[in-house]
Amino acid sequence: MKKFFTTTLLFTVSVALFGMEDATSTVTKSLFEGQFLAHLSLAIAAVGCGLAQGKAVAAACEGIARNPQAAGEIRTTMIIGLALIEALVIYALVAAFAIK
């Protein structure tokens, strides 16, 4: 598990750095200004969203397997939950555009 979180952190930072327009001009700027912070926050939000959605779908599949008669209600609740989780990433995207 420790290796997974280390890999996830390194991937998130590399995606954030890759998304920067001009990496040479960051010598004069602080790393936590503007674009770097926007890309980093969006990458962290996307990773959290992916983990949360995976856990939600797994729990819904397990619930449907345990009680097949409640499949419709579980599916509806899961879709609403997935929409709310995805909305958090959209809020992070809007905040990233506001930072830029």
Asked if CATH classification 1.20.20.10 holds for the domain at 2-19+32-99, the reply, yes or no, is yes
Look at residue 25 and tell me whether its pLDDT is greater than 60. Answer: no
Q: What is the pLDDT of residues 52-92, one digit of tens each?
A: 999 999 999 999 999 999 999 999 999 999 999 999 888 88
Task: Note if the pTM is more than 0.75.
Answer: no
Per-domain residue ranges of the chain? 2-19+32-99
Between helices 35-66 and 71-99, what is the axis angle to 10°? Answer: 180
**Token couple for 29:** 């700027």
Local structure of 32: helix, strand or coil: coil
At residue 98, what is the residue type? Answer: A
Collapsing DSSP states into helix, strand and coil, what is residue 19?
Answer: coil
